[in-house]
Amino acid sequence: MTRLRPALALWALALWALALLAPPAHAQLGGPDTTVTVALLRAPEAPGSLLLGGAPSAVEAPGSIRALAVSTVARATEGTLFDAVAVQLAPFWLGGIAGLSYADYEAGTSAPVEAVRRTLAVSAATDRLDLGLAEPAPAVALGARASLLIGAIDRGYQGYGARRDSAVAALRVATTAFRQAVERAQAADAEIQRLTEEIRSASGAQRRALIEARSDREAAVARGVEVAAQAGAAGAIGTLPERRLGVSWDVAGAWAVVFPGSAFDNAETYRWGAWTTAGVTGRSATLLGVARYLREPGLSGRRSEAAVDLGGRLLWDAPRGGVTVSAEGVYRVGLSGAEDRYRVAGELSVAVAPDRALSFTLGRDFDGEPTGNVLALLRLVAHFGEGVAAPSLASPLGP
């Protein structure tokens, strides 16, 4: 095992600086709709990272979905930073979240099909694995995960309900001011006035064309109106501390490929698997259980192996929010003569910005995953993309 390199401390400082200084994503406003984002407390795992042995946790906790999440891991036993990188995309959130109000987002859903639609995320992860060759081999994993059950947001958490209601009231006031400003700008626009006069004397196809032209001009004028108070009110909603209560149920799967000798033509399947994670989240803690099937076809003619993982995880959220502490244990039952193994680990996760989180994991990994069984990881997660789009600023945002 190599010694802990001094450079890792510098990487840790760099990660902290990036997390603290990088500006968080803000709500985008203007026109008839608004977009709000919700603060990140937990970062969901990319399934492929788990197959490659680079995941801080083997029992995935439910987390806030974002359009795009990027994470990178540094290992104390390696001292490298960018060998283990994961990117996760949520198609539903990339598509503008049409038809989902903020109230519906808060309430969650008990309909599995709708839950999968909202939470399906596809991911890709890269790493370098020690396969006993002359040098570590690059590996890539593709995965997907989705929730079958989504709990409702806890309105009592960190004063969420009162803060959310205050922000919504401010947003509605700002929205009224915005619409009044739009009406004044449209009434003073010479082009709109000209088109209105021509519509009065036109008929038939000409009248329809003029009405369409006026509508386009009104929209253009509205887009040019900005109200700073509106953006500030939506920004307040965007930094609310989110936590969901109740039962959660996720399913996931992934497939990993390794490239011995760093040659593309040498690609071989390293491992594939499918699993389910279920649990319940209360006011201060989350209890999770996992069942997973893994299959290794066998690299370079080696004997294939299969295994079943059974384990659990307990997470505790600090009363003031932004900090999560967890402990987990997973027992890997070897099938077809393979040896049994186990993993125990603890994790500290800190939300340093509405869409930035740092986590540190320390424990004992499954033997050989991927370089021995010392588990000491530092991870930075950054989420990008817009949050929940309310159908209309005038629409009720919930009680």
> What is the CB neighbour count within 10 angstroms for residue 246?
16
Which residue in this structure is represented by tokens 């407390």?
41
| Angle at which helices 204-223 and 160-187 cross, to 10° | 130
Cα torsion 296, 297, 302, 305 to 10°: value is 50
For residue 31, what is the DSSP state? Answer: T
Residue 104, CA distances (Å) to 114, 149, 290, 395 in order: 11, 14, 28, 12
Percent of the residues in the chain that have a pLDDT greater than 70, as a whole number: 75
pTM here is: 0.74
For residue 60, what is the DSSP state? Answer: P
- pLDDT of the chain, 399 residues: tens digit per residue: 344 444 444 444 444 444 444 444 333 333 333 444 455 555 567 888 888 877 888 888 877 677 778 888 888 776 565 568 888 888 887 765 656 777 788 888 889 999 998 889 999 998 888 777 778 888 999 999 999 998 888 888 777 788 878 877 777 777 788 888 888 888 999 998 999 998 988 888 888 899 999 999 988 888 777 666 566 666 666 667 777 889 999 999 999 999 988 888 888 898 999 999 999 998 889 999 999 999 988 776 677 889 999 999 999 988 776 788 999 999 999 997 778 999 999 999 888 776 778 889 999 998 766 567 888 888 888 877 655 544 333 433 433
Give tens-digit pLDDT for 236-269. 666 677 778 899 999 999 999 999 888 888 888 9
